Amino acid sequence: MGGCPFSSRRGFLGAAGSVLAASAFAERAVADGAGTAAPSAGNSAPRTVGGTSGNGAPIPFHGRHQAGIDTPQQTHVLFASFDLVAKRAEDVVRVLRDWTLAARRLAAGGALGNAGGDPTVPPPDSGDALGLGPRRLTLTFGFGPGLFEKDGKDRYGLKAKRPAALVDLPRFNGDQLDPAHTGGDLCIQACADDGAVAFHAIRELARMAAPNDAANGYGGKQAGVAAPYDAHQGAAVLRWIQAGFLPGGPSGETPRNLLGFKDGTENPGRPHPAARAGGKLAGNGTFEDVVWVGEEGPEWMQGGSYLVVRRIRIALQHWDNVALDFQEQVIGRRKLGGGPLTGGGEFAPLDLDATDKDGNLVIGDNAHVRLGAASSNGGARILRRSYSYNDGLAMIAERWPPWRQGLEYEAGLLFIAFQRDPRTGFIRIFENMAKLDLLNQFTTHVGSGIFACPRGIAKGEFVGKELFAA
Ligand code: HEM
């Protein structure tokens, strides 16, 4: 078996035992009410996104909404997408229960067991985040279309319960989607102020769901390992993951993306200038209006949100050779201060009608912010909660002049948007943008996914509980 990690007895025992450890953890956690993060009345207060340095206190796990949506952005994300391999709905429920219990403990800064205890079993926690504390870890769970129906099959009897808003994303102009970064039946967005904490969380949750190695033919039944875990087929396997980061600037400031521009200025929850001046307008929308599903959705989604993720590669070498003036025209904002080209500070409203002395629009027809603005899209708004990513170098052929080819940065934006309904949110906005945006000369969408993130989880519940009720 060559370099197979399970070729030794020790390796085999290690792998087989980890499943036992995971289930034992779940049982213990149920018994002792593990993960005692303070229950919250909900984390629904609209918050601005940005301000990436936290005080490290745990983010409450329970509440009306899942954490990691209106939570001020942490500095790191590990986004994980899973394929379901479970044969029965009960097995999906089992993994969601285990994940919920484990996530509660992890968000409180706990480990999933003693990483240095019994020498005869694999440590129930990998130990790589020991002592780091919660670092504002949030774990946001989402259900992809494949939970409801895959390849025409109603695998778990949930087809009829697929929410109308959980559409398959259309193919957009310029899409070059790579299956290795696209789709998924379940997702977990792990955000924390330390990349090691986010990685540890996904690693632990993924191993809880994965088939154990007895089931993979690496050994027979293990003495002392109770059914059904002796040949556990698993419920879900990793499909793709993507790490991302933000600069850890002072709290409350909008972080910059790899273009060097502030990203997240015009987001719901920001006090609109008119509101600050005494008016009542919330020009960029409230979380209730834009983000949280209301009574129009099924019960398990009320207070939840739809997540659209896009892995967008940016031609950084091309961008870096473009004059500052043109960079600002592409976005429609000033690079340093972040204010609109039509004047004022970062939060000044865009004046989309303003013209220069020659009668040309100051914020051009194809400027990114014009195409993204609610007023250009019949009022459509989304919450953007994106991260930069950097995966080294790759051989890339750019699709715009000067058609660079060669080793380029495999880097860009892990665009993550939350909304009440993707049909009137991301899809409505991006359809035009994909065709007309000046920014498209520098960007290529290479990964994609859509997920329904259920409402927040109450104590004693598991994520998406009502969806599985008969
Ligand atoms: C690599 C890709 C992208 C980059 C670098 C980028 C960058 C930016 C920047 C710098 C701003 C201005 C500051 C702000 O309001 O946050 C902005 C605004 C915005 N972007 Fe993007 N963006 C990207 C992709 C997208 C995509 C795919 C969408 C799809 C819906 C989108 C939607 C928006 C919206 C709605 C706004 C606010 C417009 C407004 O109302 O002023 N962006 N983006």
pLDDT tens figures, 91-109: 999 999 999 999 999 999 9
Q: Note whether residue 144 is domain-resident.
A: no
Q: What is the per-residue pLDDT for 275?
A: 52
The finding on whether 331 has its CB within 6 A of some atom of ligand 1 is yes
The finding on whether 264 has its CB within 6 A of some atom of ligand 1 is yes
Centroid of ligand 1 to alpha carbon of 264 (angstroms): 7
Q: Note whether residue 438 is domain-resident.
A: yes
- Would you tell me how many other CB atoms lie within 10 Å of the CB of residue 294? 12
Q: Note whether residue 242 is domain-resident.
A: no
Q: Note whether residue 341 is domain-resident.
A: yes
Q: What is the per-residue pLDDT for 386?
A: 98
Q: Note whether residue 433 is domain-resident.
A: yes
Taking all residues of the chain, what is their mean pLDDT, rounded to a whole number? Answer: 85
Q: What is the per-residue pLDDT for 86?
A: 94
**Closest ligand 1 atom to Cα of 350:** 41
Q: What is the per-residue pLDDT for 277?
A: 54
Q: What is the per-residue pLDDT for 248?
A: 87
Centroid of ligand 1 to alpha carbon of 259 (angstroms): 11
Is 90 exceeded by the pLDDT of residue 130?
yes
What average pLDDT does range 418-430 have in this prediction?
A: 98
Burial class (CB in 10 A: 0-12, 13-18, 19+), 317: middle
What average pLDDT does range 42-66 have in this prediction?
A: 61
Centroid of ligand 1 to alpha carbon of 288 (angstroms): 21
> What contacts 24+ positions apart, CB below 8 Å, involve 58-62?
58/107, 58/108, 58/109, 58/134, 58/136, 58/137, 59/107, 59/134, 59/136, 59/137, 59/138, 61/35, 61/37, 61/103, 61/104, 61/107, 61/108, 61/457, 62/37, 62/104, 62/456, 62/457, 62/458, 62/459
Q: What is the per-residue pLDDT for 273?
A: 55
Is 80 exceeded by the pLDDT of residue 227?
no
Q: Are 168 and 183 in contact (CB under 8 A)?
A: no
Supply the residue whose CA is at minimum distance from atom 24 of ligand 1.
Answer: 415
What average pLDDT does range 460-469 have in this prediction?
A: 96
The finding on whether 266 has its CB within 6 A of some atom of ligand 1 is yes
Centroid of ligand 1 to alpha carbon of 263 (angstroms): 7
Q: Note whether residue 61 is domain-resident.
A: no
Q: What is the per-residue pLDDT for 14?
A: 31
Q: What is the per-residue pLDDT for 301?
A: 98
Structural domain total, the chain: 1
The finding on whether 257 has its CB within 6 A of some atom of ligand 1 is yes
Q: Note whether residue 149 is domain-resident.
A: no
Cis preceding linkage at 228, omega within 30? yes
Q: What is the per-residue pLDDT for 251?
A: 74
Distances 286 to 44, 298, 349 between C-alpha atoms, Å: 11, 21, 16
**Closest ligand 1 atom to Cα of 284:** 40
Domain of residue 336, residue span: 273-453
Q: What is the per-residue pLDDT for 123?
A: 85
Is 50 exceeded by the pLDDT of residue 51?
no
Q: Note whether residue 370 is domain-resident.
A: yes
Burial class (CB in 10 A: 0-12, 13-18, 19+), 270: buried
The finding on whether 412 has its CB within 6 A of some atom of ligand 1 is yes
Supply the residue whose CA is at minimum distance from atom 27 of ligand 1.
Answer: 430
Centroid of ligand 1 to alpha carbon of 372 (angstroms): 6
The finding on whether 269 has its CB within 6 A of some atom of ligand 1 is no
Pocket test for ligand 1, best of 263, 350, 376 (most atoms within 8 A of CB): 263
